[in-house]
Amino acid sequence: MRILLIHSDEFSYRVTQKTPIAEKLEDESVKQGASEDCLVVFSAVEKGDELNKTYVINQTVEEIKKVADQVGAKKIVVYPYAHLSHNLSDPKTAIEILKGVASKLGEQYSVMRSPFGFYKAFKLSCKGHPMSELSREIHPLEREVEEKEVPKEAPRKIAKRFLVLTPNGEEIEPGEFVKNCEDDDFKILVEKEALGKESPGSGEEPEFISIVKKYNINWESFSDRGHMKFGPEGNLLFELIADYAERIVRGFGIPVYSVRGTNMFDLEMKPVREHAELYGDRLYQLEVEDKKLVMRYAACHQQFSMIKDWTISYRNLPFGAFEVADSYRMEQSGELLLCFRTRKMHMPDFHVICRDENEALEWFYKLHEKIYEAMEELGRNYELLINLTSEEFYERNKDFLLKLAKTRKKNLLLCFYPPGINYYWSINNEYHITDDLNRPREIGTVQIDFGNSKRFGIKYTDADGSERFPFILHTAVIGTIERYLFALFDTAVKMKKEGKPPMLPVWVSPIQLRIVPVAERHLKFAEELASKIRGVRVDIDDRSETVARRIKQAEEEWIPYIVVVGDKEVEGEKLTVRIREIREEVQMTLEELEKEIQKKIGGKPFKPLTLPIHVSKRPIFNV
């Protein structure tokens, strides 16, 4: 349980929209409320709190009473606020605990409880004195068992537990580990995730934001904040990355079935409703003709809804299903970050359907390696956070986890989720880069799911004729399209700070080669050059600017290769090529230039130029 306590001159709220997990209201008047000179308690009930609800209620009440007495508040507002935690409890538990807290406080104070599961607008006026803003965290205690097993006077705390696992098998507590840690990136991850320490740059705006906008990528001002728009160059980047994601999954050597479907699902459908409850108030919802619909927040719904209707034999396994799926999550407005944390994202979601846990672990390792390889191609390094839902899985598969550590010679940060909760997955890997502001940023992910096949009714027929529920691997090898873009631009910022010319990889650069004719009489030759080169996005800057100005603009656009053509080039066989990566001019024939660029593209996806080949013919794409 997490609470944020604000001593307020005045507070008011009104309900604006109902969510699928909203509590049933016996009195419609609670849809709005107001209070003056009150203590507002923003509250988030977390997973594990259900293990001892009575203890959580009592301890929460005690913490609130202490603060109320200190600030002299006689009125208290209990306000559900899921944004305080990313580890939320189920709605039923949350409602029960919040009602219990309000009821117990009501014995001594005037209490107003805002209803759970509704979007609400609120106004708050904080008093601003030293005690007016405080936060508290209440850890649940394990459910009472027989006295001979656990004495009531010494119950154990239940919460997430973190552990560092080294490649040689040592298990070290995070606090002890960071004292002697020489790996800065891994230390940053441990401090943030296990020790709750924010990096010094957390409040700053990253430098990559200004670069992203140069590529016609920005927030859409006509929409809800958190929804991005991609202009011509940005859209080309988007499509290339989507093609790259699909090419990766098709390289695994198993059948991969591409699917496509809707982004709206009916909350009356039990699997959809149960899955939705995991996301709490981060859902986008709408009502159409008396139906309650939810915008999908992952690609799972559509793929699982299709696969449940397939007749599958053990001979068909393993196979993959793939979709670049638009997904929607009501992220907090204060946490939104262009390309990284958005309310609409595009997930190149790949599911591998496996016979059993052994086959799932085999494919988990293959996906793990490919996730690392994809980021290493950018010259970046991943640090690994492994989430586990049981100690038993860890003990049974410790050799497998050590294999992950030894292969990459990396320490692993393990996070054990609280026991006693009905999880549908056993292991979830989060792959973090350290960004320009020294913050861990999750990009890739892979997870073993043993529960959703049963939830959605996905079965296969085994060799003995019996029906079985498969294990399902969830992965986004390169992360969402938006987060891979984030990694690209963050990498460019790091290159700049290391004294290297910042640039995108050649395969994803919107313009790979720019030809600059010195004068109008050289334009025809430039056009002939452009028509001869194949498999390269080439354009011609035919504007009536000086050559120096046009070269400078090409460099500002991070174009990897620039060729200036004048009389010497028209009459000779060699071209003078400005190569951005090495900051040098090199003499090449046209054929050598083409081979050079193709080598840098390296077999990655290619799309032709989507802009007019002549720069003078294009509008100015303001962002």
The per-residue pLDDT for range 115-171, each reduced to its tens digit, is 999 999 999 999 988 788 898 988 765 333 222 222 323 333 447 899 999 999 999
pLDDT band with cut points at 50, 70 and 90 for residue 204: confident
My answer on whether omega of the bond before 318 falls inside 30° of 0, hence cis, is yes
Decide: 74 and 111 in contact? Cβ < 8 Å: no
Q: How far apart are CA 536 and CA 523, in angstroms?
A: 19
pLDDT band with cut points at 50, 70 and 90 for residue 331: confident
At residue 297, the pLDDT reads: 84
At residue 544, the pLDDT reads: 93
Torsion of CA 10, 14, 16, 19, to 10 degrees: 100
Q: How far is CA 325 from the centre of its chain?
A: 14
**Fold (topology level) of 506-617:** Rossmann fold (3.40.50)
* Nearest by Cα to 12 from 28, 33, 30: 33
**Region 452-480: what's the mean pLDDT?**
96
Decide: 441 and 486 in contact? Cβ < 8 Å: yes
Residues 61-78: pLDDT tens digits? 999 999 999 889 999 999
Residues 227-271: pLDDT tens digits? 999 999 999 999 999 999 999 999 999 999 999 999 999 988 888
Domains 2-137 and 506-617 share a fold: no
Superfamily of 161-259+297-492 according to CATH:
Bira Bifunctional Protein; Domain 2 (3.30.930.10)
At residue 423, the pLDDT reads: 86
- 299 or 481: whose pLDDT is higher? 481
* Nearest by Cα to 221 from 537, 623, 510, 583: 623
Q: How far is CA 369 from the centre of its chain?
A: 19
* Nearest by Cα to 469 from 295, 308, 254: 308
At residue 146, the pLDDT reads: 29
How many residues make up the chain in this entry?
A: 623
User: Position of tokens 């050559």?
Assistant: 547
Residues 26-39: pLDDT tens digits? 889 999 999 999 99
At residue 224, the pLDDT reads: 85
**Fold (topology level) of 2-137:** D-tyrosyl-trna(Tyr) Deacylase; Chain: A; (3.50.80)
The pTM assigned to this predicted structure is 0.76
Q: What are the residue boundaries of the structural domains of the chain, listed by start?
A: 2-137, 161-259+297-492, 506-617
At residue 327, the pLDDT reads: 92
Beta strands 110-113; 118-126: pairing state: unpaired
Q: How far apart are CA 405 and CA 163, in angstroms?
A: 14
